[in-house]
Amino acid sequence: MEFNTKLLHGKSILSNPAREILPPISQVTAFKYESMEELEKVFLHKSMGFAYSRIGNPTLSAFEQRINELEGGVGAVSCSSGMSAITTALLGVCSAGDEIIACSGLYGGTISLFHDLEKFGIHTVFVREMTPETVRAAITDRTKVVFGELISNPALKVLDVPAVAEVAHEAKIPLFIDSTTATPYIAKPLALGADVVIHSTSKYINGGGNSIGGIIVDGGKMAWDFEKHSVLAPFKKYAKRAFLIRLRTDLWENMGGCMAPANAFLNCIGLDTLGIRMERICSNADRLARALAAIPGIQVNYLTLEDHPYHVYVEKELGGLGGGILNFRVGSKEKAFAVIDALKYALIASNIGDIRTLVIHPASTLYIHTSQEEREAAGVFEDTIRVSVGIEDAEDLVNDFVSAVQSVSDTGEA
Ligand SMILES: *Cc1c(COP(=O)(O)O)cnc(C)c1O
């Protein structure tokens, strides 16, 4: 099955007794049983079943199984937000005294989370570029995980997953990938060698901009060293599924960051059209990037442009696609604000992955609480505009952006 057919007819599209075409929303807190013995079996994981929606719910399960099938994992856990998914996944392998290796230039919220984790004794070592060499040099006895974004938001650095995974695995460390911006349509990090994939489903997976959510998928291939990852030791009998079972029966359940059933339903609807949306979004973004790059004085950061520093990975890892985010620089903060205000169709909003084109000035919003150095590592300058390209008609989008840029340079503003 190709991608779109699999979305609609894959084996994770479960049939259910009432024959609904879509997974029904199980908007309930708890599930009732005929006898105490039956409920005991559910609690002992001796029989399949649901007890309480923080721990498991049929709508969440339907959504988890679909993402798991697309990513090729052994199981998935859905969370209340992308940040909740990242936090839960990291705490699934780290405790006080441990270290994380991450690339600078990640999503701003994730960088802030790494700062928060310092207060719990978990230290993050940032490498400016994540390569096999920088990762190898940063590994210590305390390193428990290497964390990266496949396509970083908004820097648009692409991670060489097979090469970095190899270095991590030599040191018995897993590679966790935030693949929010890539989506399973563009790339499958587990097949490239990563151990765990995380998504903020709030973005492309939902697609309609109607609910916050996140998900963690375990690839089930990591040969855990239970002395090194002692937090997983109680789950040793599950071998390569130890991380998933720790989340399922322990950390995720206890932290309480579950997804709401209604959001899982909305995410399932969004998922149905992920393939066609991404196809359109990537082709729109490529056309818009080329049109903007042709304007003198405008610097464009988009992966399919031949001079992009990470261009080789477009064919190597991203199936020839550049994703939905592009950034461009217009010369000054004042010009950036003026261009944004002159746009007719692009909405000024702090989000990505919507079907509507969205724009923002990251330096004065998403990166307002980070240092100058962290900003620049994320490709965020005073004059950078970030665009999350939508599914509008390409001609209209190109005309809107080109006229906005031209109107600002014509008036000689700033
Ligand atoms: C938005 C985003 C997150 C955080 O997700 P939320 O659903 O907003 O909590 C994490 N990583 C990346 C790359 C994102 O774009």
CATH number of the domain to which 249 belongs: 3.40.640.10
Helix (H) or strand (E) segment spanning residue 103: strand 99-103
Q: Verify that 316 and 167 share a domain, yes or no.
A: no
Report the alpha-carbon distance of residue 289 to residue 301 in Å, rounded. 8
Contact, 247 vs 216, CB < 8 A? Answer: yes
pLDDT at 375 (0 to 100): 87
What's the Cα-to-Cα distance from 286 to each of 125, 254, 398, rounded to whole Å? 34, 44, 10
137-141 own/partner pairs: CB under 8 Å, 24+ apart: 138/101, 139/101, 139/167, 139/168, 139/171, 139/173, 140/99
| Residue 412 pLDDT | 52
Do 252 and 344 lie in a common domain? no
**Cβ 104 vs Cβ 375: under 8 Å:** no
Give the model's pLDDT for residue 414. Answer: 47
Same domain, 264 and 352: no
Which of 303, 400, 302, 294 lies closest to 347 in space, CA to CA? Answer: 400
Q: Is 154 touching ligand 1 by the criterion CB < 6 Å?
A: no
C-alpha 181 – ligand 1 centre gap (Å): 9
In sequence order, the 6+-apart residues with CB closer than 8 A to the CB of 287 are: 394, 397, 398
- Whether 55 and 200 map to the same domain: the answer is yes
**72 Cα to the center of ligand 1, angstroms:** 21
Centre of ligand 1 to C-alpha 153, Å, is: 9
Query: What DSSP string runs through 113-134?
Result: HHHHHHTTT-EEEEESS--HHH
Q: Please indicate, yes or no, whether residues 237 and 155 belong to a single structural domain of this protein.
A: yes
Let me know whether 172 and 233 are in one domain: yes
- Identify the three-state secondary structure at position 194: coil
Same domain for 329 and 207: no
Starting at the earlier edge strand, list the strands of the sheet with 299-301: 299-301, 325-329, 384-388, 358-360, 347-348
pLDDT, residue 13, reads 86
Distance, in Å, from the CA atom of 264 to the CA atom of 213, rounded to the nearest integer, reads 8
Amino acid sitting at position 393 = D
Where among 242, 270, 298 does a domain terminate?
270
Domain end residue (candidates: 221, 242, 270): 270
Can you tell me the distance from the alpha carbon of 331 to that of 291, in angstroms, rounded to the nearest whole number?
17
User: DSSP character for 220?
Assistant: S
Q: How far apart are CA 112 and CA 190, in angstroms?
A: 26
What is the total residue count of the chain? 414
Q: Which residues 6+ apart lie within 8 Å of 10 measured at CB?
A: 1, 66, 69, 70
Bridging pattern class, strands 299-301 and 214-218: unpaired
The reply to whether ligand 1 has any atom less than 6 angstroms from the CB of 352 is: yes
Q: Are residues 288 and 265 in the same domain?
A: no
Q: Spell out, as residue ranges, where the chain has pLDDT lower than 50.
A: 413-414
Task: Examine the fold and report which residue of 250, 270, 290 is the final residue of a domain before the chain moves on.
Answer: 270
Q: Is the CB of 180 under 6 A from ligand 1?
A: yes
- Residue 323: domain span: 275-410
Here the CATH number for the domain that contains residue 369 is 3.90.1150.10
Say yes or no: 57 and 145 in one domain.
yes
pLDDT of residue 409: 82
Asked if 16 and 113 sit in the same domain, the reply is: yes
Say whether both 172 and 27 belong to one domain: yes
* pLDDT at position 12: 87
Q: Are residues 24 and 165 in the same domain?
A: yes
pLDDT at position 411 is 58
Q: What residue ranges in 279-403 does DSSP mark as E strands?
A: 299-301, 325-329, 347-348, 358-360, 384-388
In the chain, how many domains are there?
A: 2
What is the 307 CA–ligand 1 centroid distance (Å)? 28
